[in-house]
Copies of this chain bind each other. A is one copy, B any other.
Amino acid sequence: MSIKNILIEMKNMSELMVDLAYSAVLFNSKDAAEEVLKLENKVNSMNYEIKKESLVAARSYEDAEKLTALLEVAEAAESIANAAKDLADLVITGFKPHPVFKMVMSESDKMIVRVSVELDSDLANKTLGELLLVNRTGMRVIAIRRGDSWIYGPDKNTLILPDDTLLLKGTEAGADLLEKLASGACSLEDISDELEEDED
């Protein structure tokens, strides 16, 4: 991976980790916390990669000065990631949530949910443009984990595949719907029916 791509990944991952980590604590979600820990390992190894690449790339003092800036940015990204990991660790080790978390949660009303797309799910093999999840469920896909790699800020052309792990942000009601859709327990048609009934 090029230095450029490592840096983009470190930025995206550390931002996602902060989002996920707060969500993990406020909703006491081990799911979200586990994703944070996975991402943290990746950020650490990318910081190591960027150090190696930089040392090899430096040819002059001028190079070195610019590469120093790069290393400092990577270091800060790792610090952000570490702080997010500290938050996630609280959830993993089983902390006693302060009652105020529930209050913060209900005011922010945005939660992050992680779902795994089953083979017979209605989400599989469709693009986000076809699925219109925001309209249908109020949930927005913020990232997709496919095996060991991540897709950030997916757009309407992004195709969902079976076995993808989706991270979505939205309301608690939408999170329930998404879990049913991803597991194949209900179809897009079922949801449209439900919405129509609600409107009656």
Residues of A within 8 A of B (CB): 3-4, 7-8, 11, 14-15, 18-19, 21-22, 25, 65-70, 72-73, 75-77, 79-80, 82-84, 86-87, 90, 95-101, 103-104, 107-108
Given A76-B87, A90-B72, verify A100-B11 contact (CB < 8 Å): no
A66 touches B8 (CB 8 A): no
A21: contacting residue among B7, B8, B76, CB under 8 A:
B76
Q: Check A98/B80 contact, CB under 8 A, given A7-B104, A15-B18, A104-B7.
A: no
Residues of chain B contacted by A80 (CB below 8 angstroms): 18, 80, 83-84
Q: Are A69 and B83 in contact (CB under 8 A)?
A: no
Tally of this chain's copies: 2
- Pairwise interchain contact B18-A66, C-beta atoms closer than 8 A: no
- Min Cβ gap A110→B in Å is 9
User: In the complex the two chains form, is A73's CB within 8 Å of B25's CB?
Assistant: yes
The reply to whether A22 and B18 form a contact with Cβ atoms under 8 Å apart is no
Contact A8 B104 (CB under 8 A): yes
Tell me, rounded to whole Å, the shortest Cβ–Cβ distance linking A152 to chain B: 10
Partner of A98, one of B25, B69, B83, B101: B69
Contacts of A90 in B (CB 8 A): 69, 72-73, 76
Complex contact B97–A66 (CB within 8 A): yes
Closest-by-CB residue of B relative to A3 is B100
By a CB distance below 8 angstroms, the chain B residues around A22 are 11, 15
Bound-complex Cα distance A90 to B72 (A): 8
Report whether A66 and B25 are in contact in the complex, using a CB–CB cutoff of 8 Å.
no
Q: Shortest beta-carbon distance, A138 to chain B, in Å?
A: 16
18 sample A-B contacts, Cβ–Cβ < 8 Å, listed by A number? A3-B100, A4-B103, A4-B104, A8-B104, A11-B108, A15-B18, A25-B73, A65-B96, A66-B99, A69-B90, A69-B101, A75-B86, A76-B84, A76-B86, A76-B87, A76-B90, A80-B80, A80-B84
Query: Do A95 and B79 touch across chains, with their CB atoms under 8 A apart?
Result: no
